Structure 1
């Protein structure tokens, strides 16, 4: 207590000796006045450079906007945000996480912008009683069932739920017609997505691209010969953009419902896709045209603050700030006990940009998913407009998770309006 008090005095200038003596007396007579307040330390390891930099920057900016809206404090507690660039490399992320745990003693870690980095960090942060790890945008199925953890959370439903919702959309868009999926070679997450889709679509035809492939004539020939009514393109990043632009240039989109992995429908990639984005569809964790006052204010404030439209990654960062605020309030600001903090976080609920944010017993978010389609709005801007919304229940692995289910929300809190907003 006294050490902290004297340290504080070193930073006070032009203070009189009588005033110093008075402050010292108050510190000894009133211990609470001389104690350092508890500080909530958050470690964000995310991509601020490299191929996924737009994701990491948006997530961090969304969180900072949420923190700003709460007065810079979560649950009334002073909040220290430590931000480290992992350069899109899982190995760098793991090293940064280790430093944050050992040196900074962070209460929570978040930020990985790719599925591979999420898995790497989850393996490094696996001890109950340590810091919480919150995956921003990807929900690994391996942590949804028997291997669920008290300290692991996903801000989105599991990858499997995304794949199931995508399969239903494929079926709905081409009733009675054939469907196909294009997956990259040696990418485990895409292969698992395709396997999940095949449970609901047994006749789903799979085509695999070659690693490093930049010209996709072989895949185009296979799709042309198969003549599917709907196609799921599970290629990400620059490879996915290249494929979709070539697909559009060759006129092979006509008459087909083409679905993509949702990050390709975010603002940064929409601009890169250009006209080839028109008609593309994706299952996304957020849509900016849902009737939700929190979402509307978030979108307006984000664009005003950063001079760019928000992405789903930004909405996820914003929502993390809101639900963390509620969890810290539920703890009365006492966040030192990591296990109790994890339980408080699991049982917290908040109204966010994506509607009601809450978790299933396996700590995966029960937030809606949206079918979005690329188009131009009334001003000629490329946008991803919402076509429909699917409410999400606990995934099929949750029953194998040993953790206790949080209390269900009140009926009036559980709804999520489904009418889209007309764009100007």
Structure 2
């Protein structure tokens, strides 16, 4: 007899789509509470808020149309997204487009190419071993993992001078920034001129300045001979032979790497540990895989193909709780998607939260079933229906980095520690710039 499904927590949803003002208020606070249950069935969801129109594509062929087939027409990130991230990341490739984006993207793709995973892997092992030695008792694993994964990126950037204090300060400040940022550009929604867009509250700007100042201090303290990813970025040249990145550009792009390179891993690992602690059959299968492949030792990069269930657990955690809650683009020209006409300037979005739980794409869409991602699964995850790292030309350059890191962390932590969910822990996902557990993720941790 098979074990019963684990149905992990998700927010209570409204019976119907809210009106315009309630729609703005809800989406500004938590995008996951915006869509009713029917959102897991629709192919297209047109939304009008005041003077702006948004179209949510919620079916693989439509996602492919926007993000792959017509990617050049939907190259720019939405105004809302740009105004939310620019105080921290400036004009980094996370929010820019065109020639600027293409030149910087080529550099970052080279830095984070999957072939370089072997060189990064000892950093993942080091971080996981440090965590395993430190965690005891009641631990907010969400906050801890945010700092630890940021430290792995910091060490990759600055092998000699990167510090734990700087990594944790950046992670903590970004968590505070995410709580205080205005995730909705109200001026844009009301059709006001572009010069009035992008307003942020004083508290958010204070945290943004702190992040940027910390990164600038790391750059100033860097040893010219230490190597690492920062040295390669600083040496990158534009097509005309001039330095590709000036001082401000380096702060922007390092901020992008530090935050994008840690947020996905930290959030996915937090949910993975919670789901494993709630589901003994998954823990038993993981421990069997680790015993057979590793026998108590730490993994190295050659073990990754031999840990398919460990990888599957993180993939299922990202299906249920996608680290990036939405992919948003601004239409450069008119288009037609399904039966809906898109105008230049309209926002088109794909929401992994809806797509990953779509009732026509997934069996038991709200259940935790990591085996659906195993190579021999009878039903493969739908192409263009599972997009935790985005897709198309803007697919996450660090996807291989993040996946290897998550697999390494689980393989080490589960061999060293036991996890349990305290009675007081009732995590609920909340989506602003990323999907985090509201109030953190406190687990009981004991050594094995």
TM-score range, shorter chain: under 0.3
Larger Rg: 1
Higher helix share: 2
What is the TM-score when the length of structure 1 is the normalising length?
0.28
- Return the structure number with greater relative CO, CA threshold 8 A, min gap 6: 2
Higher strand share: 1
